[in-house]
């Protein structure tokens, strides 16, 4: 790279992000949301139909910058047959679109508010760079790992999406290191490998304030109920092939907001964020370009989730339990008494037998893994 190119790149990197998104609004009137009230708690959820780049600047709380948590799962520009949205933009247009909605969400957030973006490999880097240029600070670069990606023999099979976790600095009250962000580790704990696999007594007397045998999840997310929401998954909604698992939104919302906080999702889709936020007693604002999708999301937000709050803390260890019965016994208080465990080999043999005897049964299980 010539010196001139290096300087040009450096200047572009330093350049201020566009101050105003270049969306020309064609609206003559303010967007009118559908408002839902939770029957038990009275907590409100509002759903807007329209282009989030036009709708967000019209929402009073977004104009005031008081949103506590943004969760965005944008169209990936993969030519998906969305009901209305054109998912096959020229690359430059897509990047411009991306910067526009990121700017609007950034403006809507309070200082100390969290922004999560669910995005595949193609655009993760660009989003990270743009958010940093906006002054956001990265807290985690998480990965949502699923086992059944699109099969291919031309390269490695995709099996992940990035879950980018940023905070808008400047929040007060929680010390410099956390930038005033809301962080509830105790709400999202899982069993540690030391407890489930190695029966290591060190995890029974934890010094980090977490309960014995439990820890904050690692930054790669997978396990039961973390699979893609494919056609035969119990959570699957009609006409939505981009739905996220309920447990994903449960983790984000519990960890990064409190009851009564305001959560914004600019790309509502089937309504997973709205469902989780409403159920967990957060106020919610969702925006969806397609009126049909929005109507379906509203129905979903009114319904009960299938998996939120139902899971006991589980482990995500990838190795079979090791150690002798005596060492397992000291963990009865954390894991519950041991069931008569079959050796791993027997369990695998049994699964293979089931798979060959009734392929349907094993397929049903796959969607939930």
The answer to the question of residue 104 lying near ligand SAM (CB under 6 A) is no
Tokens of 101: 């909605």
Nearer to ligand SAM, 53 or 110 (CB): 53
C-alpha 40: how far from chain center: 26
- Considering the complex, what minimum distance in angstroms separates the CB of residue 45 from ligand SAM? 15
Of 109 and 317, CB closest to ligand SAM: 109
Phi, psi of 178 (to 5 degrees): -100, 0
Q: How far is the CB of 293 from ligand SAM (least distance, A)?
A: 5
Does 100 bind ligand SAM (CB under 6 A)? Our answer is no
Q: Which stretch binds ligand SAM (CB under 6 A): 47-55, 109-117, 141-149, 253-261?
A: 47-55
Please classify residue 307 by burial: count the beta carbons closer than 10 Å to its beta carbon, then call 0-12 exposed, 13-18 middle and 19+ buried. Answer: middle
**Cβ of residue 85: shortest distance to ligand SAM, in angstroms?**
4
Site for ligand SAM in 212-241 (CB under 6 A): 240
Q: What six digits make up the tokens of 197? A: 């696999």
- Comparing CB distances to ligand SAM, the nearer of 196 and 270 is 270
How many Cβ atoms sit within 10 Å of the Cβ of residue 89?
A: 16
Q: Is residue 288 near ligand SAM by the rule CB under 6 A?
A: yes
Of the residues 289, 301, 308, 321, which one makes contact with ligand SAM according to CB under 6 A: 289
Instruction: Tell me: does residue 134 bind ligand SAM (CB under 6 A).
Output: no
Query: Contact letters (x/-) for ligand SAM, 244-263, by CB under 6 A?
Result: x-------------------
In angstroms, give the least distance from the CB of 301 to ligand SAM: 11
Backbone angles phi, psi at 114, to 5 degrees: -105, 145
Q: Which stretch binds ligand SAM (CB under 6 A): 88-96, 162-170, 178-186, 282-290?
A: 282-290
Q: Nearest distance from residue 82's CB to ligand SAM, in Å?
A: 4
Q: Residues 260-279 vs ligand SAM: string with x where CB under 6 A?
A: ------xx-xx-x-------
Q: How many CB atoms lie within 10 A of CB 348?
A: 12
Residue nearest to ligand SAM (CB): 269
Supply the minimum distance, in Å, between the C-beta of residue 52 and ligand SAM. Answer: 4
**CA dist list (Å): 7 to 16, 17, 126, 214:** 16, 18, 19, 49
- Structure tokens, 347: 């369990």
- Annotate 165-216 with three-state secondary structure: EEECCCCCCCCHHHCCCCCCHHHCCEECHHHHHHCCHHHHCCCCCCCCCEEC
Q: Say if CB 36 and CB 301 are below 8 A apart.
A: yes
DSSP state, residue 269: T
Burial class (CB in 10 A: 0-12, 13-18, 19+), 216: middle
Q: How far is the CB of 157 from ligand SAM (least distance, A)?
A: 20
Q: Which whole-number Å values give the CA distances from 13 to 29, 91, 162, 338, in the listed order?
A: 37, 19, 22, 56
The reply to whether 287 sits near ligand SAM by the rule CB under 6 A is: yes
Chosen residue from 21, 51, 94, 334 binding ligand SAM by CB under 6 A: 51
Q: What residue ranges bind ligand SAM (CB under 6 A)?
A: 51-53, 73, 75, 82, 85, 240, 242-244, 266-267, 269-270, 272, 287-290, 293
């Amino acid at each position: 790279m010539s010196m001139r190119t290096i300087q040009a790149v450096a200047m572009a990197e330093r350049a201020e992000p566009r101050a105003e998104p270049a969306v020309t609004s064609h609206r003559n009137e303010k967007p009118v949301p559908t408002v839902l009230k939770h029957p038990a708690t009275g907590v409100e959820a509002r759903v807007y139909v329209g282009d989030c780049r036009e709708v967000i600047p019209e929402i009073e709380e977004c104009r005031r910058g008081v949103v506590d948590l943004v969760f965005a799962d944008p169209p990936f520009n993969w030519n998906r047959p969305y009901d209305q949205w054109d998912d096959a933009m020229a690359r430059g247009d897509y990047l411009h679109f991306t910067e526009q909605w990121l700017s609007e969400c950034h403006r809507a957030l309070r200082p100390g508010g969290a922004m999560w973006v669910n995005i595949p490999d193609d655009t993760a880097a660009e989003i990270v760079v743009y958010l940093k240029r906006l002054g956001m600070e990265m807290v985690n670069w998480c990965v949502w790992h699923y086992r059944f990606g699109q099969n291919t023999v031309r390269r490695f099979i995709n099996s992940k999406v990035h879950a980018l976790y940023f905070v808008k600095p400047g929040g007060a009250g929680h010390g410099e290191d956390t930038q005033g962000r809301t962080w509830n580790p105790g709400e999202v704990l899982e069993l540690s490998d030391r407890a489930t696999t190695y029966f290591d007594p060190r995890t029974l007397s934890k010094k980090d304030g977490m309960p014995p045998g439990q820890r904050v999840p690692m930054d790669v997310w997978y396990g039961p109920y973390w699979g893609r929401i494919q056609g035969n998954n119990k959570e699957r909604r009609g006409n939505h092939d981009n739905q996220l698992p309920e447990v994903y939104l449960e983790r984000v919302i519990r960890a990064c907001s409190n009851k009564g906080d305001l959560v914004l999702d600019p790309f509502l889709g089937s309504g997973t964020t709205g469902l989780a936020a409403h159920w967990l007693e957060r106020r919610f604002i969702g925006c969806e370009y397609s009126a049909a999708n929005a109507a379906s999301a509203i129905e979903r937000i009114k319904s009960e989730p299938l998996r939120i709050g139902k899971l006991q803390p589980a482990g995500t260890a990838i190795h079979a339990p090791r150690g002798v019965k005596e060492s397992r016994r000291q963990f009865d208080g954390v894991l519950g008494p041991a069931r008569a465990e079959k050796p791993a080999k027997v369990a695998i043999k049994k699964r293979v037998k089931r798979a060959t005897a009734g392929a349907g049964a094993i397929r049903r299980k796959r969607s939930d893994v």
